[in-house]
Structure 1
């Protein structure tokens, strides 16, 4: 089969298309004929071995696929790796059936980005109706869905941030009440101004560095910041617990892998709700582009350069 393989860690240049034997499923696994593979920012960290879970070489990257299992079921799945290929062995407990009304891009958009937005709002910040929500990187995979879900679930005001006029316009189209340039030198003041002069209740943050720092200072009493990524690769300033108490603020961290350790099938609960919203036309995955397998390197370059919006996928048949 054709696959993208990494034999040394590094940037997009280490992604190479090659021929490999078909994977052999182990006990509790199924072989999936991959129709589309999702591309996530985490994949760029995996390629350079800077992700939370360390990688080993050689490796076929890619942690999400949609396709047909051997028994004919159409599934979306989360293999630990191996997604950038024509076939992937996936653990049965990490595969979920996809309704016919949900297309491949939507299915892939929901399994990581949609579930992340769901968990951030439902579990990490416990969004209450009427609260203000800041969504950083609002034109990205998680951001586009978080904007829509926050509005669906009664946020009083959704404030999107993005790096270009076009991305901010997309966030407004998806339901954001205001859009702020992430490059604003005084981001704290810009967020408060966008919220009508009031500090904000919730921030969903995946950038790191000064964006995290300024977002924390924009929180209202009992405000919550959920941190789920560090795209800038810049560490925020250390936070002193006493400062959290002084301002009655909360910082939460979220890594999607932990949802699989919770009692019950929380992922199934999230996907059922997300797929139903998508099938009804109330939740839309923004297609950010489809790349041939041989274009995986360019996909990572585009993603790291922030040239993309929405959900990116690989087509292994090309």
Structure 2
């Protein structure tokens, strides 16, 4: 069953395209990544899912319900974290959460908020005006989880969190997903998708250009070779490295090559010359994404 389903979802702001023909199928119980650079249409899509703006055309179903019906029931099953959050500055974090709990007809003490706050190293006793961006984001995360939603919709959730807290947050997402919670994770940071997501949709200029399992993107046969020869300087021409990779580059004493399949032949060619250092690795998800994204951009 689908937790989120859209069909030809389109939004125009006057003559300006926000998104066009967005088709999503987020399955119940998965962590789904929604990736693209800033301005690609991620937040516009999410705001339509949350009925904060209306689509120009297209269909949306969330938790197998049309957004035109049973809104109060539907919203009780969704946790939404926007990319930017503002609270009353003179309230404490605990007061904000107590207020939000009452709005959901629950008692704060009956929730897992204290446990999650400890995990995120968040002090609920301080006033909002004293919180850094990261702590305001932690407060938003706690508020999002108050009512134990079936579906989490997260828009750039780690902005402002330091690397240690990001790690704790990802652990929390995996824990929640283990209970059956579906998580829709929008970000422009590719390494985050690689850490937690099952499947991913890539959006560019308001259009989805690929949807696949993260593992399928990672299974590229490409390899990146970084080699420093015994002789210093740029050896691209002298050692005919363009025979291996026509786009080979030289930077900070290192030659960077990308090999599609025949890595054995590439290493044979390179090893004809004295080598000081060499490393071989799979391209990162971010490198693969950027290559794919730029290729699609060039095809337009």
Q: TM-score range by the shorter chain?
A: under 0.3
Which protein has the larger Cα radius of gyration, Structure 1 or Structure 2? 2
Could you tell me the TM-score, scaled by structure 2's length?
Answer: 0.23
TM-score when normalising by structure 1 = 0.23
